[in-house]
């Protein structure tokens, strides 16, 4: 079955440690995204990538880093520079707009999320 | 950057009631998304629409592009509809640069 996987579902880390969240998709999507969700707030865009070896900052990229070495994978590293890293992190993917006559808009498919708690 | 406003933030209703959730956005868009998030956190895409109306079972989504407004309706609501419903639009109106989300509507349907 095609889909997006994120692991682990729950992650605990000590303050000051870097941590990497995994996101893998087998949908053959070009674009991938990372969002962060905090209680009472909408999801916010951290980083996105439209093509391998290229990525762009979203609204809240400070303290995070990403890589896109393979089309299927878009890992997110939460660095010690991120002041308040405890949150729910969602990965998503989509085809690029205009690349399909059947789906001209970028419908996004979401992973199950990783809940990160920094102690 | 697109801004999204959703209302109401919280909604409690009795089973069987007709539910309406509203969404307004600031920048013209290629498509609008309605998403559902259950307590475990996973998000499911309900609708993506760029004009008119779409229906899936008891769920109906409408959009007015000129007024930059969309509504999600649930007919004959059921306790299993209890979830957070989120409206999202393209970050800058179109393209593949991510979505901007509303804060969500927390819906509780009581038996």
CB < 8 Å to B50, chain A = 105
Q: Say what the pLDDT of residue A78 is.
A: 95
Structural tokens at position B12: 């409690």
List pLDDT tens digits, range A58-114.
989 999 999 999 999 999 999 988 889 999 999 999 887 654 444 445 678 899 999
Sign of the alpha-carbon dihedral angle for B14, B18, B23, B24: negative
- B57 touches A: beta carbon within 8 Å: no
Spatial CA neighbour of A58 closest among A74, A80, A39? A74
For residue A1, name the pLDDT band (cuts at 50, 70, 90).
low
Considering only residues B72 and B89, tell me which one the structure prediction assigns the higher pLDDT. Answer: B72
List pLDDT tens digits, range B74-86.
999 999 999 999 9
List pLDDT tens digits, range B5-58.
999 999 999 999 999 999 999 887 778 999 999 887 889 999 999 899 999 999
Contact B98 A105 (CB under 8 A): no
List pLDDT tens digits, range A19-62.
999 999 999 999 999 999 998 888 999 999 999 999 999 989 99
Rounded to 5 degrees, φ, ψ at B79 are -50, -30
Structural tokens at position B107: 């819906």
CB < 8 Å to B96, chain A = 30-31, 48, 50, 94, 96-97, 106
Spatial CA neighbour of A90 closest among A41, A22, A31, A27? A22
């Amino acid at each position: 079955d095609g889909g997006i996987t994120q692991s682990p579902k729950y992650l605990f880390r000590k303050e000051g440690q870097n941590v990497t969240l995994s996101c893998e998709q087998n949908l053959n999507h070009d674009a991938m995204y990372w969002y962060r969700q905090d209680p009472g707030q909408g999801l916010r865009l951290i980083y996105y990538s439209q093509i391998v070896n290229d990525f762009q900052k979203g609204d809240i990229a400070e303290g995070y880093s990403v890589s896109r070495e393979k089309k299927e994978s878009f890992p997110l590293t939460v660095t010690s520079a991120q002041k308040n890293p405890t949150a729910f992190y969602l990965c998503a993917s989509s085809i690029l707009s205009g690349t399909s006559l059947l789906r001209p808009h970028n419908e996004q498919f979401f992973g199950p999320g990783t809940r990160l708690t920094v102690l | 950057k697109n801004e999204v406003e959703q209302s109401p933030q919280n909604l409690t209703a009795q089973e069987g009631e007709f539910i309406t959730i509203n969404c307004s956005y600031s920048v013209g868009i290629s498509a609008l998304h309605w998403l559902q998030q259950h307590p475990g956190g996973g998000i499911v895409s309900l609708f993506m629409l760029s004009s008119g109306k779409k229906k899936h079972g008891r769920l109906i989504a409408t959009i007015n592009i000129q007024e930059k407004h969309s509504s999600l309706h649930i007919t004959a609501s059921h306790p299993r509809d209890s979830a957070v419903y989120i409206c999202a639009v393209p970050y800058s109106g179109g393209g593949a640069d991510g979505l901007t989300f509303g804060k969500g509507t927390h819906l509780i349907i009581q038996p």
